[in-house]
Homo-oligomer: A and B are copies of this chain.
Amino acid sequence: MQPDQRSESPAESLSEGRLGDVSFLAKALADENRLRLLLALRDGQQSVSQLVESMGLSQPLVSHHLRELKRTLLVEVERRGAFIFYRLSRPEVLDLLRALDGLAGMLLAARKNF
């Protein structure tokens, strides 16, 4: 028996039980600004001020979305001096974004727009 190539094994395949968690997670990914934040953390941690700078959003708004991402466990926080750094909690977060992007592209390929 060959080992599972994927980094993650589905255990039991998708029951009604955890749909609450799934929708909770999907909600966190349902905002474009939050997606941009996750993408900005692709190559490593960033301080809030760096994120504010690169995203062109107000500081409170960035903080608010980061808190949401933390609540969903998608990011982790570490204080270093006066700065606070955020990073993706797991690399698999990006895999999921790619999967979403892939499906969106696939669906749009058939029709032209959503």
Which A residues have a C-beta under 8 Å from some C-beta of B? 5, 8, 10-11, 13-14, 16, 18-27, 29-32, 35-36, 39, 42, 71-74, 89-90, 92-108, 110-111, 114
Contact = CB atoms under 8 A, between A and B. Distances in A.
Given A23-B31, A24-B114, A39-B16, A8 B106 contact: yes
Contacts of A89: 107, 110
Contacts of A22: 29, 32, 35, 97, 100-101, 104
Q: How many copies does the complex hold?
A: 2
17 contacts: A8-B103, A10-B98, A10-B101, A10-B102, A14-B94, A16-B39, A22-B104, A23-B29, A23-B32, A25-B107, A27-B30, A71-B114, A73-B108, A73-B111, A73-B114, A74-B107, A96-B103
